[in-house]
Amino acid sequence: MLTQGMLSESSGSVTGAGALLSILRDGQARTRAELVQLTGLARSTVSQRLDALLSHQWIVPADDAISSGGRPATAFTFNRGARVVAAADLGATHARVAVTDLASTVLAERRVDLPIDRGPEEVLGWLVVTLKELLVETGGSLCGVGVGLPGPVSHSSGRPVNPPIMPGWDGFPVPDWLGSRLGAPVLVDNDVNIMALGEHWAARRDVEHLVFVKIGTGIGCGIISERRLHRGAQGAAGDIGHIRVTTSDEVVCRCGNSGCLEAVASGAAIANQLDAAGVEAHGSRDVVNLVRQGNTMAVQFARQAGREIGDVLASIVNFFNPSVIVIGGDMAEAGEHILAGVREVIYSRSLPLATQHLSIRATELGDRAGIIGAAVMVIEHVLSPEAVDLVVSS
**In contact, 392 and 50? CB cutoff 8 Å:** no
Question: Residue 144: pLDDT band by 50, 70, 90 thresholds?
Answer: very high
What pLDDT does 236 receive?
86
Residue 233, pLDDT score:
86
pLDDT at 68 over 80: no
Q: What is the C-alpha separation between 8 and 14, in angstroms, rounded?
A: 7
CA 328 remoteness from chain centre:
11
Tell me if residue 381 falls in helix, strand or coil. Answer: helix
Q: Which of the four pLDDT bands, split at 50, 70 and 90, describes residue 389?
A: very high
In order of their start, the domains of the chain are 17-78 (1.10.10.10), 84-195+370-393 (3.30.420.40), 204-365 (3.30.420.40)
Candidates 387, 379, 370, 381; CA nearest to 197 is 370
Q: Which residues contact 265 (CB under 8 A, 6 or more apart)?
A: 215, 219, 245, 304, 305, 306, 308, 309
Tell me if 144 sits within 8 A of 88, measured CB to CB.
no
DSSP class of 322:
-
Helices assigned H by DSSP within the chain? 17-24, 32-39, 43-55, 120-138, 174-182, 191-203, 261-265, 267-276, 284-292, 296-320, 336-349, 352-355, 369-382, 385-393
DSSP 163-231: -TT-TT-TT--HHHHHHHHHTS-EEEEEHHHHHHHHHHHHH-TT-SEEEEEEESSSEEEEEEETTEEE-
Question: 203-224, pLDDT tens digit by residue?
Answer: 888 999 999 999 998 999 999 9
The CA distance from 391 to 385, in Å, is 10
Closest to 200 in 3D by CA, of 164, 218, 226: 226
First to last CA, the chain: 32
CB atoms within 10 A of CB 394: 6
Rounded to an integer, what distance in angstroms lies between the CA atom of residue 305 and that of residue 100? Answer: 35
Percent of the chain with pLDDT over 70: 94
What is residue 334's predicted lDDT score, i.e. its pLDDT?
87
pLDDT for position 369: 95
Could you report the per-residue pLDDT of 304-320, keeping only the tens digit for each? 999 999 999 999 999 99
What's the number of CA atoms in the CB half-sphere (13 Å) around residue 25? 19
Residue 14: pLDDT over 60: no
- H/E stretch holding 94: strand 94-100
pLDDT above 50 (res 293): yes
Output the pLDDT for position 376.
97
Q: How confident is the model at residue 5 (pLDDT cuts 50, 70, 90)?
A: very low
Q: Say if CB 225 and CB 212 are below 8 A apart.
A: no
- The reported pTM is 0.90
Beta bridge partners of 154: 159
